[in-house]
Structure 1
C-alpha cells in the first residue's frame, strides 16, 4: 500500500501562461525578448503552443491520473490596453476551465505569473501606487466572467521573488558559486551588450531604463509593498464577487539552514524572504508554497554549494529534502492550509526527477502524518517550456516537447507521478 495521502489530495502539475502558450505579444516579456541585444537567450515565439493545444495537454494529465492543474490567466491577453477587456480571451480561458471540468481536473488559477501588459509598465509598473487598484480591476473582471469555474485562485506568483533576484545578482557580481535563483535569469557578462539592451529597453517603453519596473526587476521597499498591497486588494475584490473561491498567494522559499555561527544570518533571511509578509497572508484561504533547493548560511552570509554536491541545470543543489523542511517552517508561522504550488528540478536525467519526486513527497507525507494540513502537490512543470531569460534549454517537465513539431512525449517521471496520484500513495 505504501504511504497513503489524505482523501481529496490534489495531485497535479503547474505551468505559467507566458512560458507555454506562445505569441503573448502584448506582454512586457514579449517586448523585452525581441529587443536588440536582449538579455533573453532566445525569444519565446510559439513556446510550446499550449494556447492551441491545451485540450490535448489537459487530457494527457487526466490519462496520467492527475486530478489538478495549476495554470495562469494572462493579464496582457485579457486587458491588452488599459480599460479594454478582450471577450475572446475570456472565452479562451473559459474553455480551458471547461476542459478541466470535463476531465475531472481541479483548476488552480494564478492571475499574475510574472508577465504583465506592456501598458502597465509604461504607467510605472510594479513600483506604481496605482498598480494594486489596476490589478484588482483586472481580477474583478476575470472573476465576474469566470468565478463560478474557479475553486482556487493564486493572486500573484512568487510575490517575494525580487528579494531573491537582488541577492542572486549581488552574488553573481561577486562571482560566488552559491544557489541560483528559482527563476531563469541571465545576468550577462558583456557590458556593451547590456548597455545596448538598456538603451533599447528605454526606447521601447518610453522610460529611462531605471524606471522600467517589470515584475522580475529588483524592487525598492516601496515596490514590495505595492506587490503585497496588490494581493490584498485583489483578494478583497475576488471575495466580493466569488465568495466560494479560495484565495491565496505563492511565495518562493529556500530551505534556509545555518552552520554554527550562521544562525543570525539565517534568521535574517527568513525575516526578509517570508516573515515580514505574514500580515498580508493571515486571512488567506491557503498558502502556495514553492521550493526547489536549500540555502545554507554561515557567519558571513550564504555559503557556497557543498563540495561534490549534485547540481541541477539551474545551478541549484539537488535537495528534495528541502520541501518537507519548508512546509514545517511555514506551518509554525501561518495557520492556514498549504498547497505546494511548485517543486521540481531542471535536468535531462529523468531518473533523477523520479527520485526527486519520491524524496520530496516522503517529506510532505511526514508533515501530514504530524498533523500539518497540506492539501496538494503541483509539480513544476507539466512540460518542458520557456525558462524566461534562459530560453528553452532548462528541462523541468514531466512531458517533453519537440518544438519543431510540438509533439508531446510523456517522460517516465510523468507516468511515475500519475501512478502515485492514482494510488494516492508513495511506495
Structure 2
C-alpha cells in the first residue's frame, strides 16, 4: 500500500497539448521549410480550450494530481510585456483542478521558450537567468497562493543528454559510411537513449539548409533553444536560472514546495563499463547536487534503463520488448532510479514522469502496475516518495517526432479532437482509490 497522502496523477506539457503556441521558439522551428520536425504541432490536442474536459476525465477516474506547465511564451509574448489574459487562463486551470479534487503541480518552463528569448541567445545567454527570474516573479506573485508544488524547469539536464546522444549518433553514422552502408543508418540506437522525441537523422540531413534558414528566422545559424545541445556554460546558466527562481518563490510564496525535474536513466554497468557508467551518472545527476540539495523536492523522470559497456551505451538486449519510442520496455527501471537518487538526496522525491509509448494499452496497464510496485517497495523502505505522475494524460505532440507516438492514458482523435479514455486511465485511478 502506498503511503497516506501519496499523489497519483498524470502529466502534460503546454506546447505538446495546448495548440497554437505561436510566440514560442519551437513553433518557429516547426514552421520552417527545412525543419527537423516531421510535422508541426498546429492545434495539438486543443487543450488550451478543452482543459476543463480533460481535467474532468482525470478526476473522474480517481486521479488526484495533475502536473502541467505554464507557457512562458503565452504569458510574456514580447519581452517585458505580460499578457494578463494568459495568466488568468492558467488561474482558471488551477481552479478547475481544485474543483475536481485534483492537486495542481505546475512546471514553469517545459522545453519551449519565448521566441524573443532564443533570438537573444536563448539558454546559452548570460541574460537568461535574469529574464527567467522576472517571469517567475510575475507568475508566482499572481498564482502562487493557489499552488502547493512548483517545478521551476523540466529536465534541467536534457541539453547535456542531447549533446552526448547527438555525438553518439554522429559516430554511428560515420561508422556506417565507412562500411558503405549509410543508407541503412536509422539512428535508433542513439535516439532510444534519449527520453524525448528527437529526430537525429533528419537533423543531420537538413543541417546546412536549416542553418541558413535559422539565420533568417532567428538571426543566428544555431539557435540555442532549451532542447539544443548544451555547453558546460549553458548548464551553469540553467542552474542559475533555477536558483534565482527558487529564491523568488520562497520570498513571494514561502508555502510552495519548489524543485526541478531531471531526466534519469537506470544506469546499469556491464562488465568493463563501470567507469563510463559512473561518468554518465555524474553528468546526468550527481553534479547537480550542490544546487538541488537546497530544494524541497526533486522530480524524477524515467522511462527505461541504460546499459553501459566498456565502449559506452549499448542497445537493448536482443529480443527485448521495445516501445514505439525505441526504449526497452523496463518499468522496473523506475525503482532502480529512485534508489540510486536517494543515496545522495534525502529530501522528498516525486515521480513527475514515467510512461510508455504503445498502441497496446494492455502493455501500458502492465507497465503501470510494475512501476508502482517498485515505488511501493521504495516507500516501504523509507524512501520519501510523495507521488507518481504518469506520462502522459493524453496522446500528444512528441516534439520532433510529431503525433505518431502514443503515450496517453486518453486517446485523442486528431480529426475531431474527441477524447476516448483508455483502460489504463481507470487502472491508474484504481491505485489512487485503493490507497486513499
Q: Give the alignment partner of residue 203 of structure 1, picking from 209, 216, 236.
A: 216
Please name the residue that 1:370 is paired with: 381
Distance 2:319 2:169 in 1: 20
SS at match of 1:174: helix
Conservation of the 8 A alpha-carbon contact between 1:180 and 1:314: no
> 1:28, 1:214 within 8 Å by CA — same for their partners in 2?
yes
Q: Following TM superposition, by how much is the alpha carbon of 1:189 offset from its aligned partner in structure 2, in angstroms? A: 4.4
Name the CA distance, whole Å, in 2 between partners of 1:337 and 1:166: 29
CA displacement, residues 262-288 of structure 1 (integer Å, 9 cap, x when unaligned): 111111111111000101101101100
Structure 1 equivalent of residue 32 of structure 2:
35
Residue 259 (structure 1) aligned to one of 260, 267, 270 = 270
Q: Which residue of 2 aligns with 1:47?
A: 44
> What secondary structure, in the 3-state scheme, does the structure 2 residue paired with 1:383 have?
coil
CA contact (8 A) 1:341 1:377 kept: yes
Gaps of 5+ in 2: 173-186
**Superposition RMSD in Å:** 1.2
Match of 2:396, SS state, is: coil
Task: Give the CA deviation at 1:130.
Answer: 1.0
Match of 1:18 in 2: 15
**Aligned partners of 2:101 and 2:215: how far apart in 1?**
46
The match for 1:93 is 90
TM-score under structure 2 length normalisation? 0.95
Per-residue CA deviation, residues 218-254 of structure 1 (Å, 9 max, x unaligned), is 0110000000110000000111100001100000000
- How far is 1:190 from its partner? 7.8
Query: 1:13·1:69 contact (CA, 8 Å) conserved in 2?
Result: yes
Which deviates the most, 16-25 or 182-191? 182-191
CA offsets per residue over residues 297-345 of structure 1, 9 Å max, x none?
Answer: 1122112221111111111111111000100011111111000000001
* 1:222 counterpart residue number: 233
C-alpha contact (below 8 Å) 1:383/1:396 kept by paired residues = yes
Partner of 1:342: 353
2:201 aligned partner: 188
1-structure distance, mates of 2:212, 2:193? 27
Q: Deviations over 1:160-195 (max 9, x none)?
A: 011211222122223372533101001134866332
The unaligned stretches of length 5 or more in structure 1 are: none
The total of aligned residue pairs comes to 420
Structure-to-structure mapping, 1:371-410, within 5 angstroms:
371-410=382-421
Q: Is the 8 A contact 2:269 2:309 kept in 1?
A: yes
Distance in 2, Cα, partners of 1:318 & 1:344: 10
1:369-407 deviation line (CA, Å, top 9, x unaligned): 001010000000000000000000010000000011000
Partner of 1:79: 76
> Counterparts of 2:360 and 2:432 in 1: how far apart (Å)?
22
Q: Distance in 2 between matches of 1:188 and 1:344?
A: 24
* Counterpart residue number, 1:357: 368
> In the TM superposition, what whole-angstrom CA distance separates every residue of 1:23-50 from its partner, at most 9, and x where no partner exists?
0000001100001111100000000000
Equivalent-residue separation in structure 2 for 1:162 and 1:297 (angstroms):
20
Distance 2:82 2:308 in 1: 47
